[in-house]
């Protein structure tokens, strides 16, 4: 289903409220571009970006997106006709590949020795797969049974990876046992930390290098509505609570952290997601699709205000600081592009 059609068909039944008040019946809404977000981070919305023929290039869930150095955008879906769709920034399809990742979920890009690689997590295969940008597999990391924290590979359901400057690999087992598994660049197990003591749904992980000389890990605990900071050695440092926001993976661009928020606790329905943008101090400064976080200085009031998104699952930030929002369970729609204004 096309997004535009979806927005149309899910429009509310309006007749009776007209009768209650008469207000809407006699107003003439003027057409104007929708602008979402607040303060320094506001956006126009392009819902047609990246639309393709769903028969040729279908999407199931659009899980995550990354951008390579040459500007190409890589979208990961769990549709095994084409697990990876490669776009240019104008939304034209450049390439597609991948038929063997039924649980494709996490997508991270990393430059290693001048070459860029992709790290895919597949929670149905219970593996992390490292590929070239063209999809050639160069390394597979199975369930870390030697960590002695898993009774069987099926208990391992990785959702995300983060790559340190030295090539070390961190894997978040967000749908499994909630461990963060630390490997060296060759895939040798170095450490395992986190677990259920720290996480409910350790969904996303990224490297935080905003403080020069002190890289850290930012890890989302989605069910807890928290962003947790760990040292690269696995020591818990601090956490940021974003009440009501079921945040997916953190994405850092410049000083800001971008978080797709799958759903929120308010309103009490499933299509209540939005985007959260945090400043360098991890304070929420803009909520595209949601309420103004600074209006009353009360982050506990974050809530969806406009039905732009269904289940935002990831945000990719391009060089011009435009956003691409991949959505889970959204009627098999392609990403939404937010153009920064």
- Least Å distance, CB 95 to another protein, is 24
Residues 97-116 touching another protein, rule: CB under 8 A, are: none
Q: Among 1, 5, 39, 48, indicate the residue that binds another protein (CB under 8 A).
A: 48
Site for another protein in 180-209 (CB under 8 A): none
3-state secondary structure of 272: coil
Indicate whether 340 belongs to the interface with another protein (CB under 8 A): no
Q: Degrees (nearest 5) of the Cα angle 181, 228, 260?
A: 95
Q: How far apart are CA 265 and CA 259, in angstroms?
A: 16
Q: 161 vs 304, which CB is nearer to another protein? A: 304
CA 203 to mean position of chain CA atoms: 9
Residues 16-35 binding another protein (CB under 8 A) are 16-17, 19-21, 23-24, 27-35
Nearer to another protein, 12 or 213 (CB): 12
**Residues between 259 and 278 with contacts to another protein, criterion CB under 8 A:** 266-272
C-alpha to C-alpha distance for 1 and 210, rounded to whole angstroms: 40
- 213-226: string of b/e by CB count within 10 Å (b at 16+)? eeebbbbbbbebbb
Kindly report the backbone phi and psi dihedral angles of residue 141, in degrees, each rounded to the nearest multiple of 5, phi listed first: -110, 110
Q: How far is the CB of 329 from another protein (least distance, A)?
A: 7
Q: Between 181 and 263, whose beta carbon lies closer to another protein?
A: 263
Measure the CA–CA gap between 198 and 205, rounded to whole angstroms.
14
- Contacts with another protein by CB under 8 A: the residue count is 49
Exactly one of 67, 97, 339, 340 binds another protein (CB under 8 A); which one?
339
Answer left, alpha or beta for residue 187, where phi above 0 means left and psi between -120 and 50 means alpha. Answer: left
Determine the interface stretch with another protein among 146-154, 159-167, 209-217, 290-298 (rule: CB under 8 A): 290-298
9's tokens: 């068909």
Query: Least separation, in Å, of the C-beta of 187 and another protein?
Result: 33
The rounded radius of gyration (Å) of the Cα atoms in the chain is 20
Per CB under 8 A, the list member of 291, 310, 322, 327 interacting with another protein is 291
Is 295 among the residues that bind another protein (CB under 8 A)? yes
Residue 89 binds another protein, judged by CB under 8 A: no
Phi, psi angle pair for 8, to nearest 5°: -70, -45
- In the complex, the smallest distance separating the C-beta of residue 16 from another protein, rounded to whole angstroms, is 7
Q: How far is the CB of 318 from another protein (least distance, A)?
A: 17
Is residue 13 near another protein by the rule CB under 8 A? yes
22 vs 71, which CB is nearer to another protein?
22
> What is d(CA 80, CA 10) in angstroms, rounded to the nearest whole number?
28
CB atoms within 10 A of CB 124: 14
Question: 122: Cβ–Cβ under 8 A, 6 or more apart, which residues?
Answer: 101, 102, 103, 104, 105, 128, 129, 158
Longest dimension (CA), the chain: 69
Say whether residue 9 binds another protein (CB under 8 A): no
Yes or no: say if 304 and 264 are a contact pair by the CB < 8 Å rule: yes
String marking each residue 299-328 x if it binds another protein according to CB under 8 A:
--x-xxxxxx--------------------
> Based on CB atoms, which residue is closest to another protein, 190 or 296?
296
Q: Residue 274 has which token pair?
A: 């939005």
Minimum CB–partner distance for residue 340 and another protein (Å): 12
**How many whole angstroms separate alpha carbon 335 and alpha carbon 341?**
19
Give residues in contact with another protein (CB under 8 A).
4, 7-8, 10-14, 16-17, 19-21, 23-24, 27-35, 44-48, 266-272, 290-292, 295, 301, 303-308, 329, 339
């Amino acid at each position: 289903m096309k997004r535009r059609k979806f927005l149309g068909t899910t429009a509310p039944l309006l007749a009776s409220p007209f009768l209650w008040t008469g207000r809407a019946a006699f107003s003439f809404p003027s057409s104007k571009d929708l602008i979402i977000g607040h303060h320094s981070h506001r956006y126009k919305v392009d819902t047609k970006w990246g639309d393709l023929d769903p028969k040729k290039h279908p999407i199931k869930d659009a899980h995550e997106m990354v951008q390579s150095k040459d500007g190409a955008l890589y979208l990961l879906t769990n549709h095994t006709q084409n697990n990876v769709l490669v776009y240019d920034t104008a939304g034209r399809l450049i390439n597609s590949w991948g038929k063997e990742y039924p649980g494709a979920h996490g997508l991270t890009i990393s430059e290693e020795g001048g070459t860029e690689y992709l790290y895919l997590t597949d929670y149905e295969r219970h593996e992390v797969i490292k590929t070239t940008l063209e999809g050639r597999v160069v390394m597979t990391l199975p369930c870390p049974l030697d960590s002695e924290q898993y009774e069987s590979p099926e208990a391992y359901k990785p959702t995300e990876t983060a790559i340190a400057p030295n090539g070390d690999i961190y894997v978040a087992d967000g749908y499994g046992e909630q461990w963060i598994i630390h490997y060296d660049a060759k895939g040798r197990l170095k450490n395992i930390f986190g677990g259920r003591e720290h996480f409910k749904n350790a969904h996303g992980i990224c490297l935080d290098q905003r403080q020069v000389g002190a890289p850290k890990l930012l890890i989302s605990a989605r069910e807890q509505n928290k962003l947790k900071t760990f040292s690269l050695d696995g020591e818990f440092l601090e956490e940021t609570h974003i009440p009501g926001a079921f945040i997916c993976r953190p994405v850092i661009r410049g000083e800001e952290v971008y978080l797709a928020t799958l759903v929120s606790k308010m309103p009490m329905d499933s299509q209540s997601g939005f985007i959260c943008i945090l400043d360098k101090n991890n304070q929420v400064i803009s909520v595209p699709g949601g309420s103004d976080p600074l209006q009353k200085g009360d982050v506990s009031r974050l809530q969806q205000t406009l039905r732009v998104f269904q289940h935002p699952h990831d945000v990719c930030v391009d060089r011009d600081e435009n956003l691409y929002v991949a959505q889970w369970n959204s009627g098999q729609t392609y990403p939404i592009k937010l153009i920064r204004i």
